[in-house]
Amino acid sequence: MEKYAIRGGIPLVGEIDIAGAKNAALPIISAAIMSNETVTLENLPDVNDVNVLLEAIQRIGASVNRVDRHTVRINGSQIKGYDIDYESMKKIRASYYLLGALLGKYNKATVPKPGGCAIGSRPIDQHLKGFKALGVNIEDQGGFVRASCRQMEGAHIFMDVVSVGATINIMMAAARAEGRTIIENAAKEPHVVDAANFLNSMGARIKGAGTDVIRISGVPDFHGCTYTIVPDMIEAGTYMMAAAATKGDVVIHNVIPRHLDAISAKLREIGCEVKEGDDWVRVVATRRLHSTQVKTLPYPGFPTDMQPQMAAVLALADGTSFVRESIFESRFKYVDELARMGADIKVEGNVAAIVGISGYHGAEVSSPDLRAGAALVIAGLAADGITIVDDIEYILRGYEDFDEKLRLLGAAMEVVHSDAELHRFEAWG
């Protein structure tokens, strides 16, 4: 049993550094096995999802050497298997990136079909549509996707929905197909750009990543490289929200402020001061915030991965806010947990109507998923009294040193492993 115990009500003040982006690291680790030469990845976040994927590539024969906590050397020359096991996929959906990587390198791969997850049904039809367009034969066999072809050929692909995963997966495979591929209606997230930059560092010829249209000229081989992962915009955004909810003053280093524009704009709109420099942002909240409307959209819109954290802040703002979730259908599961802390939120369809309250009170709550878990911690930091957040393994999937960093900002928060530890925390202070 690992839980966060939080004594709320302390404004967060101080400075922290942001880690590399989990959602860039996952496709980049997968793509690294496409070279037979050694690839060195720097600024890798030390989070569970990344570590699980590193184990998964080792299981198919890649060598993985950790140089230090955030640097790893990967060599894919000894890969023996093209089948990804169900255990890997169960632990981390993003192992579907190995489909694009293995297809690109060996023209064959088998991966378990990822099921739905806490935030929605999450099909992979667009990934498969792209692979088929490249000439790949896809068979659905007993819960596995078997993909193979003699040689992929470039194609003109129009995505029906804007999908980060499908854009990157198709881009990886197409980077080694024969001829030219054009992906239209591509996702534009910073991690799509980072994955493209990484592939180009290995010798791929990809242009236009970060726009709606990505153009790829296939190359026969990749070489080794050293690459530094982009900073995690969602981790940064989460601390920005924590500063706002606790009426704090937090400087967040190692960020690309432009990636945070949608988040900064919303925080300014509700009454926070947001300042930025070359690689830092500072969020200051001194008075009660006010309500607004938020709609999640693909980048550069407001990210769905920030929706729960934003709602946790808006629950404390003056007036009624409306949050519309347009990417994942089941992303309001945390609302009932926030209600246990006093929030007044009603969900109808994909819209949450949030009536601002004057403050949260501590309660025992469970994280339904990664970002929702972070939102509950934010609420706990702002709450009067003690909050216990259960199921923190979801949070550990994506946040490096979450409790340490929050303590650095002054939070009174511990990981507790037993009732005895919890009682000690409750008795203290």
- Residue 4: exposed, middle, or buried by beta-carbon count in 10 A (0-12, 13-18, 19+)? buried
CA 310, distance to chain mean position in Å, is 15
Q: Which is nearer to ligand UD1, 304 or 366 (CB)?
A: 304
In angstroms, the CA 401 to CA 403 distance is 6
In angstroms, the CA 57 to CA 97 distance is 11
Q: Which is nearer to ligand UD1, 49 or 249 (CB)?
A: 49
Tokens 């949030």 locate to 354
Catalytically annotated residue among 117, 149, 225, 272: 117
* Chain positions contacting ligand UD1, by CB under 6 A: 23, 26, 94, 120, 122-127, 161, 163-166, 187, 303-305, 327-328
**Is-catalytic flag, 225?**
no
Q: What is the DSSP letter of 247?
A: T
Task: Kindly state the smallest distance separating residue 265's Cβ from ligand UD1, in Å.
Answer: 18
Q: Which is nearer to ligand UD1, 187 or 285 (CB)?
A: 187
Closest residue to ligand UD1, judged by C-beta, is 165
**Phi then psi dihedrals of residue 286, to 5 deg:** -115, -25
Sheet holding 13-17, edge to edge: 13-17, 249-253, 280-284, 273-276
201 neighbors 215 (Cβ within 8 angstroms): no
Q: Which is nearer to ligand UD1, 347 or 357 (CB)?
A: 347
Task: Kindly state the smallest distance separating residue 149's Cβ from ligand UD1, in Å.
Answer: 19
93 SS3 class: helix
Task: Kindly state the smallest distance separating residue 316's Cβ from ligand UD1, in Å.
Answer: 24
Task: Kindly state the smallest distance separating residue 3's Cβ from ligand UD1, in Å.
Answer: 24
- Residue 303: exposed, middle, or buried by beta-carbon count in 10 A (0-12, 13-18, 19+)? buried
Of the candidates 217, 82, 221, the residue with the CA atom closest to the CA atom of residue 153: 217
∠ CA(96), CA(396), CA(82), 5° rounding? 20
Task: Kindly state the smallest distance separating residue 296's Cβ from ligand UD1, in Å.
Answer: 8
In angstroms, the CA 421 to CA 425 distance is 6
Q: Which is nearer to ligand UD1, 28 or 251 (CB)?
A: 28
For the annotated catalytic residues, the residue numbers are: 117
